[in-house]
């Protein structure tokens, strides 16, 4: 599944948006749930790929695309390279735990969406990464994007 489809499924099925990662606890929750899903018997065995990914909230700002590798402007360095549509996310979320040299898509016109990556052989997570929004499988077939984290506003029950 690609990121636009994930966002549409979230909106149509849950009246939500792809969730942002407010803090490390939320990141860890996504990791736990993703690992549970990878360990279940499912129609398609995603473990034939080296990595799996779950789409989360974040689209790269147009002002942070196609930049020289160095020096990166302070306004395009890490999480602040992205805009977020999750209405419950704060201005400075700390839950996007980036891998080494990530996010790296500021050098590309296309790696503009964020996902949480899982290492399938060790069944553990690696980090947040940025990648091409419209792909369901990375080239050369090393990462499959198998899900999304959907966030909805809390509802008061009485």
- What's the pLDDT at 35? 84
Task: Give the pLDDT confidence of 45-103 residue by residue, as tens digits.
Answer: 666 788 889 999 999 999 888 877 677 788 888 999 999 999 999 999 999 999 988 89
DSSP characters for 8-62?
HHHHHHHS-EEPP--SHHHHHHHHHHHHHHHHS--SS-GGGSSEEEEEEEEEE-G
**Residue 107 maps to a domain:** yes
Residue 4 pLDDT grade (very low, low, confident, very high; cuts 50, 70, 90): very high
pTM for the structure as a whole = 0.90
How far is 85 from 108, CA to CA, in rounded Å? Answer: 22
Please name which of 155, 153, 154, 143 lies closest in space to residue 55, comparing C-alpha atoms. Answer: 143
Tens digit of each residue's pLDDT (9 = 90 or more) over 112-127: 999 999 887 776 778 9
Per the domain annotation, does 97 fall within a domain? yes
Q: Give the pLDDT score at 108.
A: 66
pLDDT in tens, 27-53: 999 998 988 887 777 666 666 788 889
Residue 158 lies in a domain: no
Where in the sequence is the domain holding 56, given as residue range(s)? 3-151
* pLDDT confidence of residue 80: 93
Number of domains in the chain: 1
CA distance 24 to 114: 16
Q: Is 80 exposed, middle or buried (0-12, 13-18, 19+ CB in 10 A)?
A: middle
Six-digit token string for 112: 């503009």
Distances from the Cα of 118 to the Cαs of 32, 38, 50, 69, 89, in angstroms? 11, 9, 9, 26, 23
User: Does some domain include residue 156?
Assistant: no
Residue 153 reports pLDDT greater than 90: no
What CATH number should be reported for the domain holding residue 104? 3.10.100
Q: Is residue 115 part of a domain?
A: yes
3-class SS shares of the chain: helix, strand, coil, % to 5: 30, 25, 45
Q: How confident is the model at residue 104 (pLDDT cuts 50, 70, 90)?
A: confident
């Amino acid at each position: 599944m690609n990121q636009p489809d994930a966002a549409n499924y979230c909106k149509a099925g849950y009246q939500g948006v792809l969730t942002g990662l407010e803090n490390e606890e939320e990141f860890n929750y996504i990791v736990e749930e993703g690992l549970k899903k990878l360990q279940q018997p499912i129609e398609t065995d995603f473990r034939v790929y080296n990595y799996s990914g779950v789409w989360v909230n974040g689209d790269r700002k147009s002002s942070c695309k196609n930049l020289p590798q160095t020096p990166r402007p302070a306004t395009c360095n890490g999480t602040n390279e992205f805009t977020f549509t999750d209405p419950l996310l704060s201005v400075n979320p700390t839950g996007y735990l980036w891998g080494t040299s990530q996010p790296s898509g500021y050098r590309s016109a296309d790696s503009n969406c964020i996902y949480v990556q899982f290492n399938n052989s060790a069944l553990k997570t690696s980090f947040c990464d940025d990648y091409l929004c419209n792909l369901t499988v990375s080239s050369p077939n090393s990462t499959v994007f198998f899900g999304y984290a959907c966030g909805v506003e809390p509802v008061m029950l009485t």
